């Protein structure tokens, strides 16, 4: 008896993945250099040399029994201490090693954090547009994902609607800044007001409403700015991070949950998450990757290419008549489609070998996402195709 | 609102871990060399040089963007192909790459396999004594773990009782050979009869009953023998493997589910498991570990120390009057305690600085587990303590 819930999912294909697969077919026909594939958020810059050297040093000098041995179920102590020290220095919050729970990427971080602070039947609020995998992460816990409608054109969270939707059934709020798919960085004003509402409603309902903050793009912020750090505005925050983008290590599956100092339940939340990992058969990310990344705190890949690409695309899109918010970070940009149906617009774009992702998959209609984690030279070569696409709608 | 289910687990400490922690305290008092810690199943031999060299070569020669990039959600194609070829050669079954689903160790393998072939409310049958983590792995899926009583002294599965308990509510059976904690290898006769019962009941109930076979100790078998391979007896088998023991890589968290050729649903089970991984926030084991282990198929650590240790302990225990089945594999031995209460017996053993695990944690009363994955020299030095422990019960 196969599980019908999971079997039924096989029919529902991811639009992002379908677009990517189309791109590979098309590349076989006309050459990969002629397909402008903006579909996948897969980093295109190599990891920093420090990571490779750290791995090589561990392999050369470590005792293999110790190096590859079981971690404690709360994670490698050295990694946890290194992350805590880095966060404490960067954000001025007194994180301790005991506040850090290593996970398999941000995916594992979000799944563990939400399980810890919800029970089946609770509601989890997030803001459209949102990363579609939030659906299964939340559904897997038995809670329900509720989505606050978007606020175009700037795509800061819609806090008035949020306040109305923040009922006593909501045990946690899931945010993502800098944001996939919009590239928008939540402003200080947004985070200040968000924290006020959370504090007010927590008081009113007599229980803490947790904030789960998904921040894999924290290190990709433009114009020399820093992204305001949500936990600094609201202490009951579980910060979910991944090294996939900052260190270009998406396949190595390392991230963490950081429990903010002063968070309700701070003293037991990491132990709870280590219990949760037993139920999913997860039990710690790989030992050698934790140890190597412990030696790379504060280091990133050369992320400057993403800003270069963003500026090229933003300038071109606005020049060609697109309505688009200038991204403050990430490697995504989110222009309005030139017709109401974003899916039809993406089909039209394929005629120019431009592979875009329609916004429906992110819970918003009428926009498209471009993931510009590709070579700058290719971004430049794609601009005439974008111009032709825009021209096709002016006829 | 913290999740009360997981919070409540914080009180329930693992006996194995508590014993291990006691051992560390005691080591601080009298020196680690004087504490005979048989509590933890943590490999004591280093990984083979091939693994280290494979890692070094990948780091030196691989394109980092490719090497550390996202895997397909079904896992690294090269790893899957290498595992399939290895299994096909070793067991004469026509595994294809598409039958292999890489996981985070056997833990992830079992959790994914059981989710794929059960629905909430189903029963999963296993045989006592059994690895205690089977409880959370099964509970996490919403199914119920039911335990077939043990059959001392040889600890082959109790198939008469199994047949009675195999009701239509059972959708899958979970076995473990070579067995933790007994060290017993399921015999050909056992697997033949088990397969007959499964086939008969599947016909009678009109649905396939799946076999999930947990085999992390497959490569640790004594006297030059091979462990009979369950999937060769029953095609509807999901084989769960881990490299933790065979390659001494427990911290690197790599294993797989192998769907047997001819298994009901063979063509969709791996895709289903890749969907399941989205709900647990898991998404593939680390890329570089998959690629390095792909280059180590058919290779193991030097596992001979475990057989040396087993023979020393088995001969000593029988000489000292213990009732004990001679292990056919693993690095565990499971003698009968010298008093009815295994917990009291383990407390008595601590007086001689022998750290044993009482069998209650494995669903059986009156036995103890010794994990002899320690240095042979220390096993030898522990024998007088075992003799004194036995003598204390002859007074």
Tally Cβ neighbours within 10 Å of residue A37: 22
Q: What percent of chain A has pLDDT over 90?
A: 87
* Nearest beta carbon to residue A281 from set B112, B249, B254: B112
Q: Considering only CA atoms, which of B67, B285, B55, B59 is closest in space to residue A248?
A: B67
A/B interface, count of CB pairs below 8 Å: 236
Task: Report how far residue B135's alpha carbon sits from residue B204's, in angstroms, rounded to the nearest whole number.
Answer: 28
pLDDT tens, position by position, B203-230: 999 999 999 999 999 999 999 999 999 9
Mutation target among A8, A68, A76 for the B interface, most CBs of B within 10 A: A68
* CATH class name, domain B4-47+302-392: alpha beta
Where does residue B181 rank: exposed (0-12), middle (13-18), buried (19+ CB within 10 A)? Answer: buried
- Determine what percent of chain B falls in helix, strand and coil, rounding each to the nearest 5: 45, 15, 40
Contact, B282 vs A280, CB < 8 A?
Answer: yes
Q: Is the pLDDT assigned to residue B383 strictly greater than 90?
A: yes
CATH for the B49-294 domain, from 3.40.640.10, 3.40.718.10, 3.30.2230.10, 3.40.50.2300: 3.40.640.10
Q: A56: distance to nearest CA of chain B, Å?
A: 6
Q: Is the pLDDT assigned to residue A368 strictly greater than 80?
A: yes
Contacts of B97 (CB under 8 A, 6+ apart): B77, B80, B81, B83, B84
Contacts of B115 (CB under 8 A, 6+ apart): A3, A6, B141, B273, B276
ipTM for the whole complex: 0.94
Mutation target among A259, A268, A281, A303 for the B interface, most CBs of B within 10 A: A281
Q: A117: distance to nearest CA of chain B, Å?
A: 4
Q: A137: distance to nearest CA of chain B, Å?
A: 5
Q: B366: distance to nearest CA of chain A, Å?
A: 27
**Closest-CA residue of chain A to B374:** A65
pLDDT tens, position by position, A267-326: 999 999 999 988 887 778 999 999 999 999 999 999 999 999 999 999 999 999 999 999
Give every strand in the sheet of A144-148, ordered side by side. A100-103, A255-259, A237-242, A210-214, A170-176, A123-127, A144-148
Extended beta strands in B66-141, E state = 100-103, 123-127
Contacts of A57 (CB under 8 A, 6+ apart): none
pLDDT band at A165 (very low <50, low <70, confident <90, very high): very high
Mutation target among A251, A252, A255 for the B interface, most CBs of B within 10 A: A251
Fold (CATH) for A71-294 = 3.40.640
Q: Does the beta-carbon distance from A287 to B251 stay under 8 Å?
A: yes
pLDDT tens, position by position, A78-101: 999 999 999 999 999 999 999 999
Q: Is the pLDDT assigned to residue A9 strictly greater than 90?
A: no
With beta carbons under 8 A apart, name residues in chain A contacting B7: 268, 272
Q: Does the beta-carbon distance from A251 to B67 stay under 8 Å?
A: yes
pLDDT tens, position by position, A12-26: 777 887 888 898 899
Pairing of strands A123-127, A170-176: parallel
**Closest-CA residue of chain A to B132:** A278
- As given in the structure block, the two tokens for residue B107 are 């833990």
pLDDT of residue B278: 85
Q: B343: distance to nearest CA of chain A, Å?
A: 24
* Nearest beta carbon to residue A56 from set B9, B56, B137: B56
Pairing of strands A100-103, B170-176: unpaired
Q: Considering only CA atoms, which of B238, B216, B258, B231 is closest in space to residue B95?
A: B258
Q: Residue ranges per domain, chain B?
A: 4-47+302-392, 49-294
**Closest-CA residue of chain B to A69:** B251
Query: Cα angle at B367 between B376 and B348, to 5 degrees?
Result: 75
Mutation target among B9, B17, B254, B280 for the A interface, most CBs of A within 10 A: B280
pLDDT of residue B280: 81
């Amino acid at each position: 008896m196969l599980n019908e819930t999971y079997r039924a999912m096989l029919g529902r294909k991811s639009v992002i993945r379908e677009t990517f697969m189309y791109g590979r077919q098309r590349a076989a026909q006309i050459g990969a250099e002629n397909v402008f594939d903006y579909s996948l958020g897969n980093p295109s810059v190599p990891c920093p040399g420090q990571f490779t050297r750290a791995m090589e040093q561990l392999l050369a000098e470590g005792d293999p029994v110790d190096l590859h041995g079981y971690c404690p179920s709360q994670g490698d102590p050295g990694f946890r201490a290194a992350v805590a020290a880095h966060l404490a220095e960067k954000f001025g919050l007194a994180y301790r090693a005991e506040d850090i729970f290593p996970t398999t990427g941000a995916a594992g971080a979000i799944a563990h954090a939400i399980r810890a602070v919800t029970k089946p039947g609770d509601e989890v609020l997030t803001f459209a547009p949102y990363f579609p995998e939030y659906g299964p992460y939340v559904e897997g816990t038995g809670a329900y994902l509720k989505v606050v409608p978007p606020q175009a054109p700037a795509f800061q969270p819609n806090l008035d609607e949020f306040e109305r939707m923040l009922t006593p059934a909501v045990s946690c709020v899931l945010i993502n800044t800098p944001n996939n798919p919009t590239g928008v960085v939540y402003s200080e004003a947004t985070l200040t007001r968000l924290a006020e509402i959370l504090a007010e409603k927590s008081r009113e309902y007599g229980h803490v409403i947790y904030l789960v903050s998904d921040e894999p793009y924290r290190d990709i912020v433009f114009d020399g700015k820093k992204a305001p750090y949500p936990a600094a505005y609201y202490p009951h925050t579980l910060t979910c991070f991944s090294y996939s983008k900052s260190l270009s290590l998406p396949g190595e599956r390392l991230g963490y949950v950081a429990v903010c100092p002063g968070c309700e339940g701070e003293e037991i939340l990491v132990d709870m998450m280590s219990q949760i990992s037993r139920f999913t058969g997860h039990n710690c990310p790989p030992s050698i990757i934790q140890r190597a990344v412990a030696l790379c705190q504060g280091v990133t890949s050369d992320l400057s290419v993403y800003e270069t690409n963003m500026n090229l695309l933003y300038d071109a899109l606005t020049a060609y008549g697109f309505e688009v918010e200038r991204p403050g970070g990430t490697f995504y940009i989110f222009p309005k489609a030139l017709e109401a149906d974003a899916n039809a617009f993406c089909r039209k774009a394929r005629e120019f070998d431009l592979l875009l992702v329609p916004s429906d998959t992110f819970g918003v209609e009428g926009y498209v996402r471009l993931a510009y984690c590709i070579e700058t030279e290719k971004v430049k070569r794609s601009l005439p195709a974008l111009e032709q696409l825009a021209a096709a709608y002016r006829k």
